[in-house]
Amino acid sequence: MNKYIFAIAVSVLTLISSCEEDKRFAIYSDDSTPPGIPIIDSVKLLNGGARFYFRPPADDDVLSVNAEYLTTSGKLFTFSASYFSDSLDVYGLGDTQKHTINLYTLDRGGNRSTNLPYDITPLEPVVSRVEKTLKVVPGFSSFYVDWRNELMESVNVFVNFKYSYGGENKDVEMIFTSHDTINRQFIRNLNLGPSDKIDVKVKIEDRYGNTTGELDKGSIYLLQDVLISKAAWTMPDTNDSIAGVPMCFANFREGRIRYLVDDVIDAYSLANYTHTGSMGRTGKSGGNVPWNVLIDLGDYYELSRIVTHQRHGTAGDLAPMARGQYYQSENVGQFNVYYLAETPDSSYWVKMSSCKIPLPTGLNNMDIFRQGQAGDMFYMFPDEPKFSPPTRWFRYEAISSFSDNYTGTGANCLSEITLYGKK
């Protein structure tokens, strides 16, 4: 019986509390009395802003604590926190000068308190922090732009580059948007000679309209390499080892290892790819990744780039421009590349780089198909584009699939390996 009375009491109290809360959010058209101003306990400076720790005024109808500021261009930015919060963040200031922030409260009748002006000097904003890290790096038939964004705020990076091609002046602008901490964006397929100059300027802008203005990054000249012919390439048999590393098994079902170097890109139901059948290491169950493709180049080459193509087709026919298997669980998402160093006494594999194929974002299936057909390109030495020492043997090591954030072990398939460099 006591339990029953207690339950009723709790229900009544809950109902009263709920009703009181509903009253707070009800709108009263006849209320014209403004609430009191917020009480600021402390302020923490942020990059491009500040965090105000507050207490709302004693008014029982306060709904929110707000802040606003006017930019030099006349744009008003407003920020809000509910009355039961203890802090309010203000962002978007584009420099480290003193700024006045007006804080105020709103009540359920739509009344606004008088302004409480508060002067702050924010920490360095995101645009200038990104600017300090941005680099333009020339590569092979392309160049890339690197930057770091440790605040992980969304920024736009405008890349404007000018060059002459075939007697015609080209003026191109590309825009890259990202909030990632580490960023690298390529401008590819520039068929220019070693003396063809590219003038590059960049601009960084945040979502509040703050900008660095146009930054002149000077002139760059691209590095030169050529497509290496596959006519003389050969590969060992499964489990035959070169410098202690065994050749993979990749002849499961319709897959054949020879398809990797036949210059035919898998599409639809063509079935021109390798397949490890989850036995890539040795051809026996119980071991798939890492599996290795060892290629005898037929001569000594200095290597610069690799382009890989994924399996596209499935067991059935695919519709035109369908995504198919591109960037899915059975394709290789991460791999390593090596060259064989030879001395009079020994031979050993030297790792050049680890390659992680980015998952496409914001693309429809047709665009993903086109991206998959174009292949995924990586420099052998991505942070400092250059050639490898002369080598006759190349090693591709499959590490994982795209699934489970690049930890999946079902990386069974690959369609083509293409290499660039010079003899």
- Predicted confidence (pLDDT) per residue in 278-336, tens digit: 999 988 888 899 999 999 999 999 999 999 999 998 756 688 889 999 999 999 999 99
Spatial CA neighbour of 240 closest among 295, 285, 279: 295
Question: Residue 52 and residue 122: Cα distance in Å, rounded?
Answer: 12
Per DSSP, the three-state class of 224 is coil
Instruction: Find where tokens 């008088």 sit.
Output: 114
What pLDDT score was predicted for residue 320?
82
pLDDT surpassing 60 at residue 389? yes
What pLDDT score was predicted for residue 281?
93
216's tokens: 């002149």
pLDDT tens figures, 365-374: 999 999 999 9
132's tokens: 């300090």
Write the burial class of residue 249 (CB in 10 Å: 0-12 exposed, 13-18 middle, 19+ buried).
buried
CB 95 within 8 A of CB 125: yes
- In order of 221, 233, 261, 291, 356, the CA distances from 250 in angstroms are 41, 17, 13, 9, 21
Mean pLDDT in the chain?
92
Mean pLDDT of 180-200: 94
What pLDDT score was predicted for residue 352?
98
B/e letters for 295-323, b = 16+ CB within 10 Å, e = fewer, are bebeeebbbbbbebbbbbbeeeebeeebb
pLDDT surpassing 90 at residue 13? no
28: confidence class by pLDDT, cuts 50, 70, 90: low
Question: Residue 332 and residue 359: Cα distance in Å, rounded?
Answer: 12
For residue 93, which amino acid is it? L
Mean pLDDT of 19-43: 73
CB 169 within 8 A of CB 198: no
Question: Residue 125 and residue 204: Cα distance in Å, rounded?
Answer: 12
pLDDT surpassing 50 at residue 95? yes
pLDDT tens figures, 136-156: 999 999 999 999 999 999 999
For residue 170, which amino acid is it? K
Question: Residue 21 and residue 17: Cα distance in Å, rounded?
Answer: 6
248's tokens: 């993979």
What pLDDT score was predicted for residue 4?
45
Backbone phi and psi for residue 417, each to the nearest 5 degrees, phi listed first: -120, 125
32: confidence class by pLDDT, cuts 50, 70, 90: confident
183's tokens: 């960023």
What pLDDT score was predicted for residue 361?
86
Spatial CA neighbour of 396 closest among 378, 423, 371, 369: 378
Cis peptide before 290 (omega within 30 of 0): yes
The sign one gets for the Cα dihedral 87, 92, 97, 99 is: negative
For residue 172, which amino acid is it? V
Query: What value, to the nearest 5°, has the Cα angle with vertex 152 and ends 377 and 331?
Result: 30
Question: Residue 28 and residue 21: Cα distance in Å, rounded?
Answer: 14
What pLDDT score was predicted for residue 17?
43
- In order of 29, 59, 60, 389, 412, the CA distances from 33 in angstroms are 11, 10, 12, 80, 70
What pLDDT score was predicted for residue 316?
67
pLDDT tens figures, 235-277: 999 999 999 999 999 999 999 999 999 999 999 888 999 999 9
Q: What percent of the chain has pLDDT over 90?
A: 84
Spatial CA neighbour of 93 closest among 50, 132, 156: 50
Q: What is the CA radius of gyration of the chain?
A: 30
What pLDDT score was predicted for residue 269?
83
Backbone phi and psi for residue 99, each to the nearest 5 degrees, phi listed first: -130, 145
pLDDT tens figures, 102-145: 999 999 999 999 999 999 999 999 999 999 999 999 999 999 99
